[in-house]
Amino acid sequence: MIPFLDLQKINLQYAEEIRDAIDRVVRSGVYIRGNENRFFEEEYSNYIGSRYAIGCGNGLNALSLIFKAYKKTGVLDSGDQVIVPANTYIASILSISENGLTPVPVEPDKETFLIDQQKIETSITPRTKAVLIVHLYGQCAYTDKIGDICRKHNLLLIEDNAQAHGCVFKGEKTGSLGHAAAHSFYPSKNLGAMGDGGAVTTDDPIIADTIRTLANYGSEIKNIFQFKGTNSRLDEIQAAVLRVKLKHLEEDNHQRKNIAKQYLKEIKNRNIKLPVVSDFDAHVFHLFPVLCEKREHLMRHLKGKGISTAIHYPIPPHLQESYREWNHLKFPITEYIHSAELSLPISPVLTQSEVEEIISAINNWDE
């Protein structure tokens, strides 16, 4: 059996180090906002190349805290429009709605699955105040043109980096390319904790401070509540685990890249479209998505050979019940991707013989 993602195997590689890290927390007597958080924030901001990193409860909170902070500081206002890819995980869009802002979904490019830079510009209205780009499947969504558009129209550029820890665009990491970025450390992400976790990175000291305060009930000084805040903190135990995992992230991403290169070179089946990758630095292969019009057949065929796959994601946000108001809208490229996408196993612990088994099972499939 080849599981889609063997989290147990991933974490057991570092079992000893993780045990030591957790033990350090147990013995410290400080379980919230202690040294592990302080060191992780320092190490993670250094890694990303941003001035600040602020740990928080999860990736959705990280996104949401960014928008909340820009509202509190008067940069964004209720009803402002935020451009977002139509094909993303629901969290990206929820973070906008949650803050009384208006998400404006924009179609992706059908080759890269990333937000279409041309369509960003044509979607701008006088109420547009921000663009949330998503480095989907681990590939960098930022382009110089997107940077130019945001500067020209005075728009905030926010990154959803939940799937792309370690991804590099022209020498700089995603998470340092816009005004602020949200990171998720959900266990299955490239940098995964052993529970929930998230962080915001930014170079802006005011936004960093505001987020830190908002995430602590709106309080910077004990018992003084400046904002109607929330509680979203990174546990000390998760911060300690993440410090261990961060040390191995580069080597883990390197393994993912090698598997992706082999898939791209050796998968040959006319019923399957492989993803387009132009720059291997700008992709950390959180997922390896292929397109296949008969994906249910392919999925069943692979299952029969003991290979598990997954769909990211079966139903796009605009067709979900929670976004009933969008159900009548048509996003043909998004709908096509969601109807044909199938993710193959890819992870730092997939063995060479497993990779070969997957390739041969796909190449031998005849719909």
Binding residues vs ligand PLP (CB under 6 A)? 58-60, 88-89, 91-92, 134, 160, 162-163, 184, 186, 196, 198
All residues at 6 or more sequence positions from 101 whose CB lies less than 8 Å from its CB, including other chains: 67, 71, 76, 78, 79, 80, 81, 82, 129, 130
Asked if residue 18 lies in contact with residue 36, where contact means CB atoms within 8 angstroms, the answer is no
Smaller CB distance to ligand PLP: residue 191 or 260? Answer: 191
CB of 143 to ligand PLP, least distance (A): 18
Strand partners, 163: none
First to last CA, the chain: 22
CB of 185 to ligand PLP, least distance (A): 7
Q: At what angle do helices 236-266 and 35-48 cross, to 10 degrees?
A: 30
Smaller CB distance to ligand PLP: residue 120 or 298? Answer: 120
Residue type (1 letter), 41: E
φ and ψ of 330, to 5 deg: -120, 120
Strand partners, 132: 158
Smaller CB distance to ligand PLP: residue 134 or 150? Answer: 134
CB of 60 to ligand PLP, least distance (A): 4
CB of 96 to ligand PLP, least distance (A): 12
The C-alpha atoms of residue 189 and residue 229 are separated, in whole angstroms, by 27
Smaller CB distance to ligand PLP: residue 162 or 358? Answer: 162
CB of 38 to ligand PLP, least distance (A): 21
CB of 186 to ligand PLP, least distance (A): 4
Q: How large is the greatest C-alpha to C-alpha distance in the chain, in angstroms?
A: 66
Smaller CB distance to ligand PLP: residue 186 or 323? Answer: 186
Residue type (1 letter), 169: F
- Closest CB to ligand PLP: residue number: 59
The C-alpha atoms of residue 263 and residue 250 are separated, in whole angstroms, by 20
The C-alpha atoms of residue 331 and residue 206 are separated, in whole angstroms, by 37
Both tokens of 229, joined, read: 């805040």
CB of 268 to ligand PLP, least distance (A): 30
The C-alpha atoms of residue 197 and residue 60 are separated, in whole angstroms, by 10
Residue 93 Cα distances to 61, 233, 325, angstroms:
12, 22, 14
Both tokens of 94, joined, read: 């929820």
Smaller CB distance to ligand PLP: residue 58 or 309? Answer: 58
Smaller CB distance to ligand PLP: residue 313 or 365? Answer: 313
Smaller CB distance to ligand PLP: residue 61 or 272? Answer: 61
The C-alpha atoms of residue 70 and residue 132 are separated, in whole angstroms, by 13
Smaller CB distance to ligand PLP: residue 164 or 307? Answer: 164
CB of 59 to ligand PLP, least distance (A): 2
CB of 61 to ligand PLP, least distance (A): 7
